Structure 1
């Protein structure tokens, strides 16, 4: 498993990490099984899904992450466009590093128009220095994408979007399509949308954890199509049980909060959710 330091070093594209990253607070570190230092909360890396900051520039987004003491970002293309040059990518990662943030994945990226979009996405991920793409592809392109995961050694996680999504409404719909493909094909598990589709996110983590590469962490107000994103501790999903299930199955991917309530003023809701997640994780460890 790659650590935050590894992500940053890859993203700097040759720039000295010692020059860019600067000193990091030792109290924020724990030691992994491999003996490497990494930002962790119990065993889970807490991040933010970039879509939470759709109304904010990168500087504002990083300032919010600093206030919340969160250090991983799933990169959206409105912060790092697919057309970015290597110089722009290096500057992007330097800015993240200065805020003690690592970009660990890109997406979600829609790629439903042509195979060229798929090709471009893998090149973008490679140049951005990440090993995970969150994507929404056409079903008929999955074998082609599986070939790309092998060629680039980059994992590809399909995002489920609930009952409105005719392609991938829940985790089961994705698993059934990827289970016989390259092992680097998997799921970006949006637990809230899964619940809105009438599914059980805790059961699905147990069933599909080997193919879950990323989690978009959220709670929802109802287990129906009308359910809305809410603060992590206020919805119908049993978050303590969900976290215990992650621990029981040995999940080692990221848990990135995707907060779609109050999107023009998300800090309070995100901060509440961060505190709740850390508190539950610490209490149940």
Structure 2
């Protein structure tokens, strides 16, 4: 075994600059402020916000990309006070060119690195152009079939000739669509901007989240594949079960992930 191969196989999440955080939809029954507090309580420093969550902490409005300038400033201060970085935003799509531009302006101002989205296919050229203009990557997200981007082949086709569009790999939704997440990660190698990470209780469209390492998703194999690819990007916990009391399960998941990715 060569030294280079040995080093690659022994890369750690820290070496690869993985940004493990939480998709705030995990805590959709709480305010954004409460979500940040929960995220910080399990020693994570990154969040993916979604449009519609009440902000809280005395700040009016929701985490929508059309929030006013003073609200954006208050949210920035809130994030700074909690020691959490807003690295991704989604899943969200614009309705027309001006709406898309508003979304990208928000992302750039807030320091968002990746907009996770499911744009209409006729909007892909526009989205790619704006992503380049604003310096923000777009990740095509795969809700389960029959959604537009449920299959990685469709995602790969949509990315052709569009250098600012990549994939947001939702590994749980692949299982719900009857596919193998490790094989799909391989298929998208070099094109993944962000990951919605999950472990599910069964191979079915009705499967739900369970603590990572206790389900059927082969978490170790997914981590190994991301390491093999030298993936560097955003990994969001998206836990959609036990909505009001999921934090202990998420903490178990995070601890397991950190242990097997070292």
TM-score range, shorter chain: 0.7 to 0.9
Q: Secondary structure at the match of 1:228?
A: coil
Q: Secondary structure at the match of 1:209?
A: coil
What is the match of residue 18 of structure 1? none
What is the match of residue 249 of structure 2? 269
TM-superposed CA distance for 1:185, in Å, is 0.3
CA–CA distance in structure 2, aligned partners of residues 100 and 219 of structure 1: 27
The structure whose RCO (Cα within 8 Å, separation 6+) is larger is 2
Distance 1:195 1:42, change over 3 A: farther
Q: Could you say what the CA RMSD is over the residues aligned between the two structures, in angstroms?
A: 1.7
TM-superposed CA distance for 1:253, in Å, is 0.6
Moved runs in structure 1, 4+ residues, more than 6 A? none
Matched, 1:156 2:130: no
Matched, 1:192 2:164: no
TM-superposed CA distance for 1:230, in Å, is 2.0
What is the match of residue 119 of structure 1? 101
Give the stretch that moved more between structures: 154-163 or 221-230: 221-230
Give the stretch that moved more between structures: 129-138 or 75-84: 75-84
Aligned positions, number: 240
Structure 2 length-normalised TM: 0.85
CA–CA distance in structure 2, aligned partners of residues 181 and 75 of structure 1: 28
TM-superposed CA distance for 1:115, in Å, is 3.3
1:139-183 Cα offsets, whole Å, 9 max, x none, are: 1111121111122221111110112x43121333212221x1321
TM-superposed CA distance for 1:138, in Å, is 0.9
What is the match of residue 22 of structure 1? none
Structure 1 length-normalised TM: 0.79
Q: Secondary structure at the match of 1:213?
A: strand
Gaps of 5+ in 2: 1-12, 56-62
CA–CA distance in structure 1, aligned partners of residues 214 and 98 of structure 2: 42
1:74-110 Cα offsets, whole Å, 9 max, x none, are: 1222242222223221221221122221001211113
What is the match of residue 169 of structure 1? 150
1:242-262 Cα offsets, whole Å, 9 max, x none, are: 111111110001111000011
In the alignment, is the contact (CA less than 8 A) between 1:170 and 1:193 conserved in 2?
Answer: no
Q: Secondary structure at the match of 1:278?
A: helix
1:11-45 Cα offsets, whole Å, 9 max, x none, are: xxxxxxxxxxxxxxxxxxxxxxxxxxxxx646322
